[in-house]
Structure 1
């Protein structure tokens, strides 16, 4: 009799492995980042934790896969149509990033507002210059596009700065720390009020190239644009033009249309841009949170015959 099989394509500490084994003591568990560790086990795996690009085409129609736990909050890189067609449950790592990404959002906002990026460059060349510093963040208005776990934490921090918080979410449902909530249909109406716009949306058909020149022209010339969502939510060439033409004051960008960002991109050279290499969600607690907060509770439900409900992806919505 073949054992049921779990494949985890990440390295886990013994403590986390022991917690998983307590729930499924009779399963065979394959764990490790190296492709050679898990390649031969894919078709026999009933559950896979952490999808890898190399897996595409390696899972046959005879696969026993019933549930995939993604290692990221965004699932647009997964073969969602294939997973849906095969009735495979997919759960995301949504919620794991709330602390590190909200910290990154404010790090970028504060750095741009207080010209920290300019002073760091000046320090490298030993230039003592005021650089026209005159803005502060307290009491300003922020629009948060996408009030999920990240957006909620960002709104909470914004209130510590006495900010007016405007939120956007698909349902329009009110949320604590958000003063006014809208759906995206009202985006253009709200943008002229905002000093900061932070994009935390997932990438879907509805959010594809959502933000372009029309939206940048509606923003204040003194405003800042932060994108930690996905690069294809923004028309990158129009963002570059808006930054060059002074339609907005600056941008903090963690995601791009093509990654890694091409060395020839003008974004590298713009003085009013801070670039981070899609690292806003990186944290010392990442693995622990994915396993303990999402995977283990879902695994307990799954082995009892239920559906893994935490962060279950809605294939119709794409997230």
Structure 2
């Protein structure tokens, strides 16, 4: 069985995989340009997903399974994959710890005025008039109640927060006090001190948040987006910030990445910009490969219960 990887895998993980599965042939490549010469012989492909095209899928006549070593699969050529009946799994869930820590740390820096304090420190300025806020007993609304949203909710409970959620099903999830369906989002907005978006990229989540919705939130509300940039128009965020409908926006994802140097977000005092790194962790590859190995054993054993098997008709 030929297992091809177009994702960079560290040498220690390569060695371990080869030793653990001696009956399989692993072909590790630096990128898809190198991997394409082997794709016609590959039964399994490991990739970050953005390097796959319909043309490459057409060449992969032996391919049975694609393991996407990330959570997002929105860049995959779904039609070509579906036509060849190729199974897709991903690494959904491995981001929950770093992304939840990111969310809490960013909200704390806004509440405790970290930007201003660091500027004062650089200027040797002793100023005790900086206005501090607390997160304790506030209300957080999380759009997306999967593994990441649930971990954010768990940490929010340490601050005694009321935690609301929005999901497709509206079904109860641990650590959430209340969950509503997506169509009922506006019912909860007037109570939300913090809105955290961890929405994936699907047809249902594009332009999910609007300026009119920001107007329904309290004036002290903070909006944090670490899901997908297309969940909200950047013009809507900018307008809400400038007109005082939002107190602050924390943005890790954008409609265009990298964010252009001349983008107005960079200059807005009440916007925090980070370069799509909320999910970065030194344990990323290890956790992704743990999911791959569990599924690989299922595949070898002829099983059917795979971790994170995707429904590509939904795009997630």
Fold match by TM threshold 0.5: yes
Query: Runs ≥4 in structure 1, deviation > 6 angstroms?
Result: none
- Taking the TM superposition and a 5 Å limit, the aligned residue runs for 1:169-248 are 169-248=167-246
2:313 maps to 316
1:275 to 273, 276, 285: 273
SS at structure 2 position matched to 1:6: strand
2:22 maps to 25
Q: Report which stretch shifted further, 307-316 or 41-50.
A: 307-316
Native 8 Å contact 2:57 2:80 kept in 1: no
How far 1:38 sits from its partner (Å)? 2.0
How far 1:262 sits from its partner (Å)? 1.2
Q: Relative to structure 1, is the Cα distance of residues 26 and 318 closer, same or farther in structure 2, using a 3 angstrom cutoff?
A: same
SS at structure 2 position matched to 1:189: helix
CA distance in 2, matches of 1:314, 1:272: 39
2:164 maps to 166
CA distance in 2, matches of 1:268, 1:131: 25
1:142 to 133, 136, 140: 140
Instruction: Tell me the C-alpha RMSD between the 2 structures.
Output: 1.8
1:108 maps to 106
Native 8 Å contact 1:5 1:44 kept in 2: yes
Native 8 Å contact 2:211 2:240 kept in 1: yes
CA distances 1:82-115 after superposition (whole Å, capped 9, x unpaired): 2122211111111000100000001111111111
1:302 maps to 299
How far 1:14 sits from its partner (Å)? 5.1
SS at structure 2 position matched to 1:297: helix
How far 1:141 sits from its partner (Å)? 0.3
Native 8 Å contact 1:91 1:308 kept in 2: no
1:7 to 1, 4, 8: 4
Residue segments in structure 2 that go unaligned for 5+ positions in a row: none
- Taking the TM superposition and a 5 Å limit, the aligned residue runs for 1:61-140 are 61=59, 63-130=61-128, 132-140=130-138
SS at structure 2 position matched to 1:59: helix
Native 8 Å contact 2:295 2:306 kept in 1: yes
CA distances 1:148-173 after superposition (whole Å, capped 9, x unpaired): 11111111101111000001122211
How far 1:66 sits from its partner (Å)? 1.1
Aligned residues: 315
Q: Normalised by the size of structure 1, how large is the TM-score?
A: 0.93
CA distance in 1, matches of 2:107, 2:48: 33
1:41 maps to 38
How far 1:225 sits from its partner (Å)? 0.3
CA distance in 1, matches of 2:127, 2:167: 42
CA distance in 2, matches of 1:210, 1:130: 40
Q: Report which stretch shifted further, 76-85 or 149-158.
A: 76-85
CA distance in 2, matches of 1:62, 1:91: 17
How far 1:275 sits from its partner (Å)? 1.0
